[in-house]
């Protein structure tokens, strides 16, 4: 076809080839997709914002519901945990927010995990022109109490007052300790209940205690609990290695006084007795008046007297010639005399003296008992008269003699015989308690008694003496300890926290980080040995530091307050083991808060004596650390208590002067305050619970200041609690457990 000018083309042909006005048509062609692009961006922004807020509302609801559930169970209805979740959701996202419609939401719980879902339809504004009128938004959320790896050390008051009821009107605890017998509603029983409920809340293991709900869920983290019961002392010794203890320790004790040598004597065979003369017989044996009971011999015949026969009636005599027959002395014809020789009697013996005597002289006496009978002729006037032979009653008399004999003496020497004791401050070797590693004997043999030797006669003595020798006494050790080197206050008027805060470098008793070393005795501990200690007094009964040999001026404590053995941090996988331990706690003794706190810190410190166990989990994961410190009373000390510092008045490890009870109270309070500060500085959370309502205001203030404080100024301290009754104590322990657990979103 030939080319034609435009003027010769048809209309349609010219329109098709004409480029004038093409922009308008092109703009119209791209307007619809451009509208979709811009409108989609607007609606997508709206969708993103709405879904983000919907998700946040769901998360907030799940967290609120789980927090409201705490250690209890999930509930529904008005005021329930479900209602708390929904209210929190609606506080963050209401029907119609961001141009949405009605929101559908739901929260539920399973195994301690709160799950939520929410959905809402959002109308489109721009892209509806493309036929997309609305978009459904759906979110889900899950919250749980997720417990981190956690160590909890309970530092718990085990003093005598825990046997009493909580303070209330009209109640007075007998003796302040109820006679060391738990009351039926004793505070100690309440403490056991509270610890069990704490355990349920954190370990998620059910106990026999009714804690309001059954624990649900499982714990995958390492949760360890330790216990530090305290009163005057703490019982930790047998949980420590042998190397942490000294081999010798100083006590208020006694040392035997001995003689280098004493001599005892024995004797050999006795010689024959050498007798002297008999004593003279009575001189009047020939006198009739020396006899009594004279009477005629009856019958006829004769009587032989001293081999001579005499007629009983002498004929041919008269009243004058008859008496003339009595030719022996005055009025006596004759007498008979018979003797009875008695056995010789030892009347005495000499007492040999060493260096002087080689024999012993024995003195004797011997009696010869005689019976004499007199005879005489006497004229009888009866009838025609007759000369009659008469006899007397028997007359007794004794003659005696003395004599002596000898025995050879043998002398024997006895060495190191105990003659008495000197009571004083002295050192004993206590290494016998050590076996190896962390194994211990329950007693140690110390030379503080005697054993019986032979019974002998000592030089110059005629009385047998049982010789005494120094012997070892088995002294029991329960496990309570004496503290290592301490800071010593030199002025009672300046006792204060500044003495111990910051902890002095030489105050190893307050230092809970330094590990003992055998080359530094100041870092080592010693055992409390009550049976090896005596308190000394002067003649007026006043306490005395002077040595004494007078056993009437010393006394021993009948008993000491050594509480139940502590427990290191450990996983208590069964409630039975925990409950058995709690049942073993016995309340007795006075209140020394500081010794409980320092050992609680030592047992939980990640850098101290148990660093290898406490620094991290076995897999190397970090651990959160908490001390729960519970007490029911004010500091209460005595200078005659056997504490971790010995018997305070005599040992004076914390003072350079004779302390009073007020001084030792002040020291305990000052050390407690310093320890609380040091513990918190080690990133250990310190929870403090005052229980029973029996403390004074100054104690309450001290306890409140001891607790970990919030970071924000002016915020109430949520780590200090005052529980005046058991119900509140249980609730506070459950609250602490809840606070320790982390509330986390897991999806």
The strands making up 742-745's β-sheet, listed across from edge to edge, are 104-110, 113-123, 134-146, 742-745
Average pLDDT over residues 568-590: 97
Average pLDDT, the chain: 91
**Stretch among 472-481, 489-498, 503-512, 517-526 having the lowest mean pLDDT:** 489-498
Q: What percentage of the chain's residues is helix, strand, coil (to nearest 5)?
A: 30, 35, 40
Q: How far is CA 206 from CA 2, 148, 575, 696, in A?
A: 105, 20, 7, 36
**Stretch among 95-99, 206-210, 384-388, 604-608 having the lowest mean pLDDT:** 95-99
Cβ atoms of 377 and 389 closer than 8 Å: yes
Q: pLDDT at position 3, please?
A: 47
End-to-end CA distance of the chain: 77
CA 365 to centroid of chain Cα atoms: 68
Predicted confidence (pLDDT) per residue in 318-354, tens digit: 999 999 999 998 899 999 999 999 999 999 999 999 9
Q: pLDDT at position 746, please?
A: 67
Predicted confidence (pLDDT) per residue in 90-99, tens digit: 999 999 888 8
| Degrees to nearest 5, angle at CA 229 with 224 and 230 | 145
Picking from 237, 182, 162, 227, the residue whose alpha carbon sits closest to that of residue 632 is 162
Most confident of 94-98, 209-213, 476-480, 495-499: 476-480
Average pLDDT over residues 607-629: 96
In angstroms, rounded to a whole number, what is the distance separating the alpha carbons of residues 609 and 597? Answer: 15
Average pLDDT over residues 222-226: 98
pLDDT of 415 over the 50 cut: yes
Q: Which pLDDT band holds residue 77 (cuts at 50, 70, 90)?
A: confident
Residue % of the chain over a pLDDT of 70: 93
Average pLDDT over residues 241-266: 98
Q: Which pLDDT band holds residue 521 (cuts at 50, 70, 90)?
A: very high
Q: pLDDT at position 100, please?
A: 87
Structural element, H or E, at residue 449: strand 443-458
Paired tokens of 32: 């619809």
Picking from 733, 688, 633, 580, the residue whose alpha carbon sits closest to that of residue 195 is 733
Cis amide leading into 502 (omega within 30): yes
pLDDT of 23 over the 80 cut: no
pLDDT of 507 over the 60 cut: yes
Q: pLDDT at position 18, please?
A: 56
Picking from 536, 596, 588, the residue whose alpha carbon sits closest to that of residue 559 is 588
Picking from 680, 693, 642, the residue whose alpha carbon sits closest to that of residue 664 is 642
DSSP string, 252-269: EEEEEEEEEEEEEEEE-P
Average pLDDT over residues 155-166: 96
Picking from 597, 628, 606, 616, the residue whose alpha carbon sits closest to that of residue 513 is 606
pLDDT of 79 over the 90 cut: no
Predicted confidence (pLDDT) per residue in 639-659, tens digit: 999 999 999 999 999 999 999
At residue 22, the 3 state secondary structure works out as helix
Q: Which pLDDT band holds residue 70 (cuts at 50, 70, 90)?
A: low
Q: pLDDT at position 2, please?
A: 46
**Greatest extent of the chain over all pairs of C-alpha atoms, in Å:** 238
Q: pLDDT at position 525, please?
A: 99
Q: pLDDT at position 234, please?
A: 99
């Amino acid at each position: 076809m030939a080319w034609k000018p435009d003027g010769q083309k048809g209309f349609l042909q010219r329109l098709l080839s004409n480029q004038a006005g093409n922009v308008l048509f092109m703009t119209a062609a791209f307007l619809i997709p451009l509208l979709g692009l811009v409108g989609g961006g607007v609606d997508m922004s709206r969708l993103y914002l709405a879904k983000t807020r919907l998700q946040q509302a769901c998360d907030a609801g799940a967290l609120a519901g789980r927090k409201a559930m705490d250690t209890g169970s999930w509930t529904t209805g008005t005021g329930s945990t479900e209602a708390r979740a929904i209210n929190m959701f609606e506080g963050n996202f209401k029907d119609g927010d961001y141009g949405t419609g009605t929101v559908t939401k739901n929260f539920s719980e399973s195994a301690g995990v709160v799950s939520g879902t929410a959905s809402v339809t959002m109308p489109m504004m721009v892209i509806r022109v493309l036929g997309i009128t609305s978009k459904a938004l759906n979110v889900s959320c899950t919250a749980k109490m997720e417990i981190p790896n956690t160590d909890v050390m309970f530092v718990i008051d085990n003093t005598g007052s825990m046997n009493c009821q909580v303070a209330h009107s009209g109640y007075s605890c007998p003796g302040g300790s109820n006679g060391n017998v738990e009351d039926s509603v004793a505070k100690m029983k309440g403490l056991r209940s509270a610890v069990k409920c704490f355990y349920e809340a954190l370990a998620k293991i059910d106990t026999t205690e009714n804690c309001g709900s059954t624990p649900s869920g499982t714990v995958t983290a390492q949760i360890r609990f330790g216990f530090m019961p305290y009163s005057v002392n703490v019982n930790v010794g047998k949980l420590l290695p042998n190397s942490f203890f000294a081999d010798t320790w100083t006590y208020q004790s006694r040392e035997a006084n001995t003689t280098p040598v004493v001599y005892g004597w024995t004797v050999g065979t006795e010689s024959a007795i050498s007798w002297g003369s008999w004593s003279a017989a009575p001189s009047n044996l020939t006198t009739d008046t020396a006899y009594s009971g004279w009477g005629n011999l009856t019958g006829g015949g004769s009587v032989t007297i001293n081999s001579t026969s005499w007629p009983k009636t002498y004929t041919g005599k008269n009243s004058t010639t008859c008496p003339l027959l009595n030719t022996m002395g005055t009025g006596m014809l004759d007498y008979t005399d018979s003797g009875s020789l008695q056995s010789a009697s030892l009347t005495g013996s000499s007492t040999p003296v060493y260096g002087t005597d080689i024999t012993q002289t024995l003195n004797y006496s011997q009696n010869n008992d005689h019976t004499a009978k007199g005879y005489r002729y006497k004229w009888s006037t009866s009838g025609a008269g007759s000369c009659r032979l008469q006899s007397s009653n028997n007359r007794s008399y004794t003659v005696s003699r003395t004599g002596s004999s000898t025995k050879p003496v043998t002398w024997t020497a006895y060495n190191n015989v105990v003659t008495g004791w000197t009571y004083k401050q002295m050192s004993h070797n206590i290494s016998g308690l050590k076996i190896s590693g962390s194994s211990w004997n329950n007693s140690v043999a110390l030379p503080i008694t005697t054993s019986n030797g032979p019974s002998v006669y000592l030089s110059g003595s005629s009385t047998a003496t049982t010789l005494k020798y120094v012997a070892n006494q088995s002294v029991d050790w329960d496990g309570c300890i004496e503290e290592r080197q301490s800071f010593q206050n030199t002025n009672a008027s300046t006792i204060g926290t500044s003495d111990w805060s910051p902890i002095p470098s030489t105050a190893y008793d307050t230092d809970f980080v330094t590990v003992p070393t055998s080359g530094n005795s100041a870092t080592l501990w010693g055992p409390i040995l009550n049976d090896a200690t005596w308190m000394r007094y002067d003649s007026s009964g006043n306490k005395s530091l002077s040595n004494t040999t007078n056993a009437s001026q010393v006394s021993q404590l009948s008993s000491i307050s050594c509480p139940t053995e502590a427990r290191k941090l450990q996983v208590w996988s069964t409630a039975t083991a925990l409950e058995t331990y709690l049942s073993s706690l016995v309340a007795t003794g006075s209140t020394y808060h500081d010794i409980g706190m320092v050992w609680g810190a030592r047992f939980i410190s990640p850098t101290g004596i148990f660093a290898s166990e406490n620094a991290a989990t076995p897999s190397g994961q970090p651990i959160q650390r908490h001390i729960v410190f519970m007490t029911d009373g004010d500091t209460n000390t005595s200078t005659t208590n056997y504490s971790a510092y010995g018997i305070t008045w005599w040992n004076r490890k914390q003072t350079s002067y004779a302390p009073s009870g007020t001084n030792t109270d002040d020291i305990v309070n000052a050390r407690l305050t310093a320890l609380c500060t040091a513990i918190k500085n080690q990133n250990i959370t310190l929870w403090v619970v005052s229980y029973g309502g029996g403390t004074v205001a100054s104690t309450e203030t001290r306890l409140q200041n001891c607790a970990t404080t919030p970071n924000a100024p002016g915020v109430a301290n949520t780590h200090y609690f005052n529980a005046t009754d058991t119900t509140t104590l249980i609730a506070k322990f459950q609250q602490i457990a809840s606070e320790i657990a982390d509330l986390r979103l897991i999806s």
